[in-house]
Amino acid sequence: MKTVSICIPAYNNPDGIQKLLDSISIQTFTDYEICISEDVRDESDSTKTKDIVDLFKKEHPEIKDVFYKTHKSTKRPGDNWNNSLDMASGEYIKMMLHDDWFTDNTSLECFVNMVKEGYDFAFSGTWQISEDMRYKRYTTDEEITVFENDAEALIKAQTIGAPSAVIFRNRNFRFSPNLKWLIDMDMYIRCLRNGNFTYTKKPLVSIGISDMQLTNYCMDNPKLVRKEYKYLYSTFSNEGKKKYKDFLKNI
């Protein structure tokens, strides 16, 4: 068993996969496996990414455990994300989306050091990077205080950031197939409810921002957004909490 399974759900982004794999290859912490699941409509979709993965294996023979599978697209992100988890045998899961990469060569070591202190869930700050801007994002101490006492507060304000910013203990967790945009929020609330956590403001990962991201599609579909908020609302039994009722009325 490896200490960390780096799980990478991918879709039609070979350049992003290349950048991510390059950032993994220089990590000072090396007790990991790489589990890539590529969402495809047909087998021709996966050719470029598979070629990149095969070349990466040849160029880095020291990295023994690199697994790649295709996943027949269901148009539900959670299914592909779960396919990457199905390959994972590590003690901890480090999610990395195909747009993102480790900021520097000690990033994974920092993540592992956090959870090795006895935590089930940890997250970091991030660099948010696009073609024309770059800025840091992190959870403030005030925000931590809010959801430390009430994990469901994340429904109102998701302040942890992208899934690539987190690491969590491998306890057969699976992502919800019912969500597209709020799939990470659902994960965070469940992790916060079922274990302890720690965090750092240091930007251990860099988040690639582009117009092609699923977030943009979801933001242009308000009915989908409202449907997903209502799903979280019912899942976490907040019916009696007026602040969440009022929030949903304004979505």
Span 148-170, pLDDT tens digits: 888 988 888 889 999 999 999 99
Average pLDDT over residues 111-123: 96
pLDDT recorded at residue 4: 98
Q: What percent of the chain has pLDDT over 70?
A: 90
The closest alpha carbon to 161, from 190, 125, 214, belongs to 125
Going along the chain from its start, the domains and CATH numbers come out as 4-211 (3.90.550.10)
pTM over 0.75: yes
